[in-house]
Structure 1
Amino acid sequence: MRSPENSPRKDSGHRSESESEVTKIEISKLAGALGASALLLTVAGCGASNTGGEPVGGGATEEAAESPWANCTPGAESADITSTAPDADSEITIGTFNGWDESVAVAHLAKAVLEEDGYTVNIEAFDAGPGYVALDAGDIDLLVDSWLPLTHEDYLEQYGDNLEAMGCWYDNAKLTIAVNDDSPAQSIADLAEMGDEYGNRLVGIEPGAGLTRITKEEAIPTYGLEGYEFIESSTPAMLAELKSATDSGENIAVTLWRPHWAYGSFPIRDLEDPEGAMGDAELIYNFGTSGFGEAHPKAAQLMKNLVLDDERLSDLESVMFAEDQYNGEDPDGAVAEWLADNPDFVEEWQTGQLAG
């Protein structure tokens, strides 16, 4: 497993792009110019880990709040495509982000539905920077996991003029502190008075993660949690502790984020954040390469129709990534099982009814 990738924002406290990542991007630009897509350093297949994407968090800047990407209603551009003929160009390549589980889940979900309609779909995995370079160059057709207005804003500033927005499909990407369902705390503020209930421990993830920084710099001082031992370890270690505690009926508090498959695998809930210390929720968009909508009008409309709420998304991710299910090893098989258990989903998607 790998820790969630942090935002490339230079003015945030998160890890900025490393020199090696920048080098990859420059190589990718050259590859696009030469038509040598192999230089994009992609990895065939899903390339997923059991961590997932992590939003920036820490509150929205005024600039982000004014971003054109800050306001989007999932499924707002929905339309019925059941009587629309498949696109003449039936080959589509979808890009996912390494370690961002929801991108893998959505890409393989789209793959299943498109292939049922006669398309040939390939999926390639990238780190974020090279993914946007590949989309800009036309080496891939779609990216299904653009976090806005904060996490991927630099990429949209650089490449957005050459990309086509295909709607947002999720509106609750955020940093959280979660507890077991039956524990007493309802708000992060409650933890300060309930330390004994949680062993005075807050279980975190990797020390370098943006979630860790926000918890230390914002949540702990805001809510007076200095008396807690904040454990910085790893995402797998946090999930192991979460599983152990919920299996044994013990109280636990962990740092987490949405979307994540843990919400579909463990009896947990988010604590309320009345002071907004963990930051605002973000949107997740689909983007196509320039000209995608004209070349693939039916596929483009399908992506605009996509809407996933927390329950459906965490359930799909849980089937795909939980250790006692597919464990990330067969995304297509996981999607097939999930669709069999949700028989109305495809029809609702194709008829534009997922937006409710």
Structure 2
Amino acid sequence: MLDLTLNLTSLGFEAGLGEGERELVYLRSRSAGLTVSGCAHAVFAYELFRILRKKVNAENGCTAKAHLSVGVLGGGHMGKQLAMALLHSSSLKPGHINISTKRPETLGEYSNMGVECYFDNIRLAKWADMLFICVLPSQLPQVCAEIRCHLPSRCLVYGFTSAVTLNRLAVLLDHSFLIKPQYEFVACNNVTAIWLLHNQVTAALKDKEVISASVPPSMNGGLFLDQRWVSAVLYSLLNLCTAEKLSSRKTLQLLNGLFETKTLTYHSFVNLPSASDLNNPDDLFPWISLVDVQTKSTPLTDLLSRDKGLQDCISVMYYNVFFKT
């Protein structure tokens, strides 16, 4: 049957808006863009961590636990969207993700998929290799007070609470193995509509146009990501190798192999004041504070800003996470 209301502008969202209200329409794009890009970048970080973990285990001949345990703390709108994005757009299996929320009974859809849902933040913090914090700013102090003494030093914490600064989150958690993306949005009518193409994040992450717009080194669509996020992700991979006692030589081999480049060297990550400080290739990289990486200038930040080839390698890897070649 023919739908006569299809594409009828008088029934559209903007039809009933006043002149002053129309100026705020861009906020819809901003909200959608932050959700879609935030989930996409979290999926990318997870996949990089998972792939490198697998390579490190192979290098060390480790036959123990091969998967990453992923925790999502918070089962509200953002937590649900993120969990679904991880389940549908990455290699994460339902049995390897747990969600802790005050109302686990509302997550039946996830429980039916095999995701363990409960209300025990301490249990989640102890269990997770990678912990995504998706709670409201008002809830954050209490949540952090609960889990701060139970977070393993190797647990990579990824913060989604946008109204709380990175430094504040680090203090609340007493934890520096922490990533928090920082976004900026500039309203541009001709490009921001891309974030409104899909009603569901999972559908958006299957759209090549949306993924192209969210590529970390060169985002478009009016949304921009602080490039120190890319540095933080790479330094987190470096720390993973250090935690597994991998030499700097082996670490660089794995990282260059991961991104199919030969650009990354010891100098790319660590400042060397003089030639006498050159490392022994069998030494470990030092453990790097991700909080410092995201708040200060680093050799890697400088390299990423000027090396188009490395940017392209990261972009290709990002694209391939969502569209396997």
Name the structure with the higher strand share: 1
> TM-score by structure 2 length?
0.30
> TM-score by structure 1 length?
0.28
Name the structure with the higher helix share: 2
Q: Which has the higher contact order (CA 8 A, sep 6+)?
A: 1
